[in-house]
């Protein structure tokens, strides 16, 4: 039985090259895949190497210079004096405040993100999944500043939150919280509580998405197997889900932690007049003109993140990858 159109007798076994530059290049890249890889990676590597890493190194070098306190001029001699300045009480305060805030924001983001990510990874299908992505991403589409000013209105003394607490008869709770030391203030918009709420709101998507991706990779039958072997839902969470989601939580916390460490706009608009690292860098390199101290402040989050990742690795956070 022969079908004329499918008869292979008239077709050569090896097809001729398509010719021209495209044909030659296609064949060349097929034979030398590394060449293609090299050509593709060259531009981004140049960008990363020169523009990004280069400027970072320039910044780091600045931190080993010092400022002449009388003339305000930069003394370009190698010294660790600027790093010593970081340990002055006022500067140490800034570092501790920022790290504590970043840690709390990360913890709260992880706690809020997990159930949302779990729902999206395990239960949401089709339309609901699309809605989930839309809900998580939508806040990222509008300007960061607009969102923060919106929050300032929400948290203000005359804002909707105070009004809502009043309607619910819970003003005593709000007032009681605001009268507490450190976390309190005249209103939420000028308290650390307000700064915390806005940080969590702004960085939450960066926690939800990696956790959701990690949970998505956990086969559903592992949860069933755990339950089958006698583990209660709580035990299954502790022994299976959490360890397997940990790389995602760590990835998310790298975002929330480092973004909080470096941000200088949110605490500027919402919060007290006490500085965070980002604000300190901003004022030192701007009005104060102390570039070496600004650079030294910049090194702090980098070092903290380094230790953080090292600790996470030792805890086995990346074992399940």
Partner 1 sequence: MTSAVSFKQVSRHFGSVRAVDAVDLEIAPGEFFAMLGPSGSGKTTCLRLIAGFEQPTAGSISIFGERAEGVPPYRRNVNTVFQDYALFPHLNVLDNVAYGLMVKGVGKPERLKAAEEALSLVRLPGYGARRPGQLSGGQRQRVALARALVNQPKVLLLDEPLGALDLKLRENMQEELKSLQKVLGITFIFVTHDQGEALSMADRVAVFNDGRIMQVGTPEDIYQRPKTRFVADFVGSSNVLPPDFIQRYSGQHRWGSLRPESIRVSQATSGDGVAARLVGTNYLGATTRLALDADGLRLHAVVPAGTALPAEGEAVMLTFNREHLHLMDEQA
Site residues for partner 1 per CB under 8 A = 219, 221-222, 224-232, 235, 239-240, 243-244, 319-320
Judge contact between 285 and 294, C-beta under 8 A: yes
Distance CA 49, CA 43 (A): 10
Judge contact between 140 and 205, C-beta under 8 A: yes
Nearer to partner 1, 214 or 295 (CB): 214
Provide, rounded to whole angstroms, the least separation between the CB of residue 238 and partner 1.
9
Backbone angles phi, psi at 13, to 5 degrees: -75, -35
Backbone angles phi, psi at 199, to 5 degrees: -55, -50
Nearer to partner 1, 174 or 244 (CB): 244
Provide, rounded to whole angstroms, the least separation between the CB of residue 245 and partner 1.
11
Nearer to partner 1, 227 or 268 (CB): 227
Nearer to partner 1, 226 or 290 (CB): 226
Nearer to partner 1, 71 or 221 (CB): 221
Provide, rounded to whole angstroms, the least separation between the CB of residue 219 and partner 1.
7
Q: Where are the beta strands (DSSP E) in the chain?
A: 66-67, 74-75
Q: Which long-range contacts (CB under 8 A, 24 or more apart) does 114-119 make?
A: 114/211, 114/245, 114/249, 116/208, 116/212, 117/208, 117/209, 117/211, 117/212, 117/215, 117/245, 117/248, 118/215, 118/241
Residue 289 tokens read as 């003109």
Judge contact between 165 and 173, C-beta under 8 A: yes
Nearer to partner 1, 73 or 315 (CB): 315
Provide, rounded to whole angstroms, the least separation between the CB of residue 317 and partner 1.
11
Backbone angles phi, psi at 75, to 5 degrees: -95, 110
Judge contact between 72 and 289, C-beta under 8 A: yes
Provide, rounded to whole angstroms, the least separation between the CB of residue 310 and partner 1.
20
Provide, rounded to whole angstroms, the least separation between the CB of residue 241 and partner 1.
11
């Amino acid at each position: 039985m022969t079908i004329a159109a499918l008869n292979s007798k008239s077709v050569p076994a090896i097809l001729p090259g398509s010719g021209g530059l495209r044909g030659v290049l296609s064949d060349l890249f097929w034979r030398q895949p590394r060449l293609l890889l090299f050509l593709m990676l060259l531009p981004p590597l140049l960008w990363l190497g020169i523009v990004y890493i280069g400027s970072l190194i320039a910044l780091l070098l600045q931190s080993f210079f010092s400022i002449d306190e009388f003339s305000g001029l930069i003394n370009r001699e190698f010294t660790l004096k600027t790093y010593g300045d970081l340990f002055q009480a006022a500067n140490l305060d800034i570092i501790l405040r920022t790290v504590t805030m970043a840690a709390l924001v990360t913890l709260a983001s992880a706690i809020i993100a997990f159930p949302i990510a779990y729902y999206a990874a395990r239960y949401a299908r089709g339309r609901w999944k699309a809605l989930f992505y839309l809900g998580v991403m939508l806040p990222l589409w509008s300007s960061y500043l607009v969102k923060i000013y919106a929050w300032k209105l929400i948290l203000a003394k005359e804002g909707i939150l105070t009004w809502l607490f009043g309607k619910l008869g819970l003003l005593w709770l709000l007032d009681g919280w605001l009268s507490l030391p450190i976390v309190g203030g005249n209103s939420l918009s000028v308290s650390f509580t307000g700064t915390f709420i806005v940080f969590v709101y702004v960085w939450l998507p960066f926690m939800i998405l990696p956790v959701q991706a990690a949970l998505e990779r956990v086969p559903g039958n592992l949860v069933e197997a755990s339950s089958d072997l006698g583990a209660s839902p709580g035990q299954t969470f502790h022994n299976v889900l959490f360890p397997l989601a940990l790389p995602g939580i760590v990835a998310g916390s790298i975002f929330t932690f480092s973004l909080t460490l470096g941000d200088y706009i949110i605490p500027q608009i919402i919060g007290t007049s006490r500085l965070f690292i980002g604000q300190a860098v901003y004022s030192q390199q701007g009005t104060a003109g102390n570039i070496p101290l600004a650079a030294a402040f910049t090194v702090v989050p980098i070092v903290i993140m380094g230790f953080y990742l090292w600790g996470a690795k030792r805890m086995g956070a990346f074992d399940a990858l």
